[in-house]
Structure 1
Amino acid sequence: MIGGVRTYIVNDTQPYRPRLKAQLTGSGVRGNSDFDTNFDNLEILSQTIYPEVLGNAIKSEVKHYSEIKQIDFVKEASDSLTQWITDRRDRALVCALSNDFSNAVVCDKTNGFKKAEKTHQSVSDLSKTITADDKMNVKALRRAIFQARAGIKYDGSQAFPIKPIRSETITQAGIPVQNYSYIILLDSYAINQLKEDKEWQEIHKHAGDRGDKNALFTGLVGMIDNCPIIDMGVWTSLNVGLLNSEVSDSEFKAHLNMQNHNKVTPPSSYAGTTTPVSIGALIGASALVMAGNDSVNFYISESEDAGRKTICGVDRILAISKGKFVSPHGVSSVYNDTDFAVIGLFSAKV
């Protein structure tokens, strides 16, 4: 996962409560008015996440066979187990990111993005209207950036501005200008569609120097309004890419710790009956929350089968969830049970 992950170090599996201080929104007092005539409310939002121990192990053949095959079992097993636990972590991050979107932009062939109607009571209601011609495009991405900056939900209702991954001040013509950067993650289907968009082609017609001098040619697909776009690949059994509606519900749920999600919305929930959909995301700071120990634990036992075989194991404490904070004591808040820094991006998977 690229950026947007807020991490906490925990050393046990006790429930952990990341906290978030909401912005003060009261009107304050004026003139000779006393403070106690209009106190503001200090909201400390939180969510509870439940770490669990994730592990795996490999047993060797009889040591004599390993020697004949010239295999350093401990080294090879350690490398494979390290890759396995990294893969499991990344899949859990992707599944948490894509679960139960509260905000989104859905691509549309004619207008760039679809406008929600009264019948669209959820993100999945809107995404199910996608047809094969509703492909990823520049207008949809710019709409997502606008929604993030302005604090607007998919249906036009008020949300809150998403905190950017990075902000910087640059000077143009002697005037300081603040640039805010989100990260846009798309799968390879959406990336190919974006490259076919004439507006995208025009934007990147004069990309400048190639090679090491230009970030567009060293991993990034491109930039839209100062926000980098990254091809995250496609989810398969061998690749940790982004999800689409054709990934099975069971595989999706296998990478979620159900305790960390109040509601589970598998990828199939976002597609209608005719067209599969690709699922991307715009992310800001603290889009995902991850708690766990700061290093992976390795175990080696050479006492198996009277000392003839070796077992290598690995585990770590891990909890992963999307940033979704809840107000205390049931207080109504614009932040309450809403994606803190994620906007889903939906397009036809064609």
Structure 2
Amino acid sequence: MSVTDFGALTSTQATVWAVKTWQQGRDQSFWFQTKLIGENDNSPVQRITELTPTDGGDKCIMQLVADLIGDGVVGDNDLEGNEESLVNDDFELQIDQLRNAAKSKGRMAQQRVVIKFREQAKGKLAFWLGDKMDELAFLTIAGRSYTLKTDGSTRSNSQLSQLSFAAQVSAPSNDRVMYAGGVAAVGSLTASDKMSWDLVTEACAKGKRSKIRPIRMGGKDYYILVMSTEQFRDLKMDADYRAAVQNGGSRGPKNPMFTGEAAVVDGVFIYEHNKVCNTLGMASGSKWGAGGAIDGAQAQLIGAQALGLATIDKVFWNESDNTDYGNKRGVSVGRMFGVVKPVLKTSEDDTKQDFGTITIYTAAAAQAA
């Protein structure tokens, strides 16, 4: 016997709900909320929305082109035959689908009309979507496996490592790494090797020397530095940083790209975020330092094209067709996307290096209660 479901959504309504869910999730995301994502190569995260035909099928391709380094041709000397080759790589972005769903316990447990359940589910799923994409972006730029959480602990009952782009995650390249205290490995860090203004200054100098292309805004060049909450706490306690903020800090150019930054000092937009990779979830003995007992975090200096993000189609919203005769409602959201940290052969040598980011390892003790 057929029944009329007065709570069912039309296809148009479902599309509206999907858009609203993504907007809400985007607003709660670090990468989207701060407008770091753009569709040009001047963006910290370049978004690719078009598929490119390849031998293996349709995939997203990110074009990376290094700057020209030749001296050119003088006077009337022949330019023909002396052209400079563009050093470029085609970086492939794998695409996969990620979904989640929420289901009502039933009409009696819900004690609300179906639209209330949808509203509640939309909020929860929106937070999940933005939060999970944030987490994957932080893991990717840090070069940490999707089998781990951003606090270093191991996931349980997770399928994230099955994402097609999980295999593209790569550890920080050898010439794009810095350590506080002048050490050469996380195992050599001591508790006093904290984030400092001197280290920020050195990281910016290394970025420029390594030809990490800065973001060009208002005729000026900027880098972005995102660090953990504990690293930013240590930085704010550094006397040199406080002096730099007091004497030279500013809110930066009036551009919607940069909102929510903690400070803008000497051409660096500084952000803090609790999903920056750290060791707070790891067992003592497996953290950093000589005895594996030092907590630390992995800040990232970011220039242009530090990450690539591919998004195909829009967020989709579906309602369960298995509802126990309309008693237990279920809704789901999903998105097809991929995220990758591009690497490119440098102009100085023939080794591949992280294209737009430098990793900065420091001690960062857990905040006392």
Report the TM-score when normalising by structure 2: 0.67
Deviation per residue, 1:221-272 (Å, 9 max, x gap): 3233121211112xxxxxxx211134459xxxxxxxxxxxxxxxxxx79765
- 2:172 maps to what in 1? 101
CA contact (8 A) 2:102 2:332 kept: yes
Match of 1:5 among 42, 45, 51: 45
Match of 2:223 among 170, 175, 182: 182
SS of the counterpart of 1:180? strand
SS of the counterpart of 2:191? coil
Amino acid at match of 2:268: C
CA distance in 2, matches of 1:232, 1:299: 32
Deviation at 1:32, TM superposition (A): 5.6
- 2:61 maps to what in 1? 17
Task: Answer yes or no: is 1:245 the counterpart of 2:293.
Answer: no
CA RMSD, Structure 1 to Structure 2 (Å)? 3.2
Deviation per residue, 1:278-300 (Å, 9 max, x gap): 11111011111110125310001
SS of the counterpart of 1:77? helix
Task: Answer yes or no: is 1:232 the counterpart of 2:273.
Answer: yes
CA distance in 2, matches of 1:335, 1:299: 48
CA contact (8 A) 1:104 1:344 kept: yes
CA distance in 2, matches of 1:321, 1:335: 21
Deviation per residue, 1:142-194 (Å, 9 max, x gap): 0111111222xxxxxxxxx122223333xxxxxxxxx3111111111111111
1:107-146 paired onto structure 2 within 5 Å: 107-108=180-181, 114=182, 125-146=184-205
- 2:97 maps to what in 1? 53
Amino acid at match of 1:101: P
| Structure 2: unaligned runs, 5 residues or longer | 1-30, 37-43, 144-170
Report the TM-score when normalising by structure 1: 0.71
Match of 2:217 among 164, 167, 180: 167
CA distance in 2, matches of 1:317, 1:335: 34
- 2:264 maps to what in 1? 223
CA distance in 1, matches of 2:204, 2:327: 60
Match of 1:342 among 357, 360, 366: 357
Percent of counterpart pairs with the same letter?
24
CA distance in 1, matches of 2:326, 2:51: 32
CA contact (8 A) 2:215 2:303 kept: yes
Change beyond 3 A, Cα 1:84–1:277: same
Deviation at 1:208, TM superposition (A): 8.8
CA contact (8 A) 1:163 1:285 kept: yes
- 1:286 maps to what in 2? 305
SS of the counterpart of 1:42? coil
- 2:39 maps to what in 1? none
Segment of structure 1 superposing worse, 77-86 or 9-18: 9-18
| Structure 1: unaligned runs, 5 residues or longer | 109-113, 116-124, 152-160, 170-178, 234-240, 250-267
Deviation per residue, 1:50-87 (Å, 9 max, x gap): 11110011221222432269981111112211211111
Deviation at 1:15, TM superposition (A): 3.1
Amino acid at match of 2:179: V
CA contact (8 A) 1:47 1:326 kept: no
